[in-house]
Structure 1
């Protein structure tokens, strides 16, 4: 079962944000203001590497 879409708790209501739904195979990411435009999917290893890069400011 795929988890529900969510956005960061650091996001304010008026900001441009992305939403994420994580699942066993990886994660899907979409634009909060353009939900009907589709989403990007990435495998679990790529999602984990992305999160590490964000947390260590390597982006």
Structure 2
């Protein structure tokens, strides 16, 4: 039983390492599209998010 748990922990650690590496490699910058990148609200200017809350939500989700 312990072998199965140890193996599962190893797999989880490997997956986390890959995700961290991928997140660090993803250095692309979100560009303004005319709508909020988080909620989709129309934006008339060159903003990417309608407010700080949407920006924070988007950044939190983008890093996961």
TM-score, length-scaled by structure 1: 0.31
Which protein has the bigger helix share? 2
Q: TM-score, normalised by structure 2?
A: 0.29
Pick the structure with greater CA Rg: 2
Normalized per residue, which structure has more strand?
1
